[in-house]
Amino acid sequence: MNPKMPEGALVRAMPTVFVLIWSTGFIVAKFGLPYAPPLTFLAMRYALSIACFLIWIALARAAWPRGGQQWLHLAVTGVLMHAGYLGGVWVAVKHGMGSGLAALIVGLQPVLTALWVSGTHATGGTAQAEGRVTPRQWAGLVLGLGGLLLVVARKFGTGSEVTALTLGSAVLALFSITAGTLYQKRFVQFADVRTANAIQLTAALLVTLPLLLFEHEAVVWNRDFLGAMAWSVLVLTLGGSSLLYLLIQRGAATAVTSLLYLVPPTTAMMAWALFDEPITTVTLAGTALTALGVSLVIRQAKAA
């Protein structure tokens, strides 16, 4: 649980495990959302996850962060990386956006992160910035956005999976996870991952609860719903969110977010196998173009 733990096989495997776990988040949304409104599902997930973390914290006697300022910083990251990011993705998927397309949109996070840290460097910002935006990075940005438009543009129209609501929700998720990652790297000090997650999830729950007044769909309790909830709590939150927290604390923001460009193709493969979501030539071309664009940005940022 210590972000300064010695390197080993388990630590080296963390990025791969994180990508695989994170990709299932879009799949779980597809399983769980037919039986519950999105924010209601997430509020239940947050509450159950908090309970699990509190039990874990009590058994392990994990230390809580010291000082109200760190609690506030963790609360801000919780609102952004849980309430904003997950809320946006789940609302988009609930209202018809495919899992692969949702993953592709939020998969542009590395591009935004590299742009931010480069801009911070150019204006004399913090030491964590990793370099300015070079012509090669601009080329990567154009390629990445071109790939996204290639996939999204053909899906506009009546009955399409891309509407103002779904696209707006996915873009909100993209900006929330990007801002949350940068904020955590900048302001959150090293802390036990269990207590940090408990604080983040509590903040996300408090922000989400008032929004439940706008949801009127009833929860259908069945095997698929319970399975999706169990996976969301035990694997995605206790596992995936904890891994993301540790990865951000251990590495540079751009290097960590570069992992997320691997999520869209992984999710697309899972969605094809489980839901028979089509993988067309255009989808493959758009995904490949986005991955190429992001890789150009990330490689340049790492080199800098």
Task: Tell me the three state secondary structure of residue 54.
Answer: helix
Average pLDDT over every residue of 213-232: 93
Tens of pLDDT, residue by residue over 148-165, are 777 766 665 545 678 889
Q: Backbone dihedral region of 160: left (phi > 0), alpha (psi from -120 to 50 degrees) or beta?
A: beta
pLDDT(43) > 50 = yes
Distance CA(58)–CA(12), nearest Å, equals 29
pLDDT at 266: 77
Q: Considering only CA atoms, which of 156, 145, 167, 161 is closest in space to residue 89?
A: 167
Tens of pLDDT, residue by residue over 73-110, are 999 999 999 999 999 999 998 888 877 777 778 878 87
Which band of pLDDT confidence, cut at 50, 70 and 90, is reported for residue 57? very high
Task: Tell me the three state secondary structure of residue 162.
Answer: strand
Written as one letter, the residue type at 164 is: A
Q: Which of 36-50, 104-118, 154-168 has the lowest mean pLDDT?
A: 154-168
Which tokens sit at 162?
A: 């891309």
Q: Which of 51-55, 94-98, 186-190, 287-291 tops mean pLDDT?
A: 51-55
φ/ψ (deg, to 5) at 32 = -85, -30
Average pLDDT over every residue of 45-69: 94
Which band of pLDDT confidence, cut at 50, 70 and 90, is reported for residue 170? very high
Which band of pLDDT confidence, cut at 50, 70 and 90, is reported for residue 112? confident
pLDDT at 3: 46
- Answer whether 227's CB lies under 8 Å from 112's CB: no
Q: Which of 128-137, 146-155, 192-201, 277-286 has the lowest mean pLDDT?
A: 128-137
pLDDT at 127: 40
Number of Cβ within a 10 Å radius of residue 226? 12
Q: Which residues pair with 156 in a beta bridge?
A: 162
Task: Tell me the three state secondary structure of residue 187.
Answer: helix
Distance CA(265)–CA(261), nearest Å, equals 8
Characterize 80-89 residue by residue with b for buried, 16 or more Cβ atoms within 10 angstroms of its Cβ, and e for exposed: bbbbbbbbbb
Average pLDDT over every residue of 105-117: 79
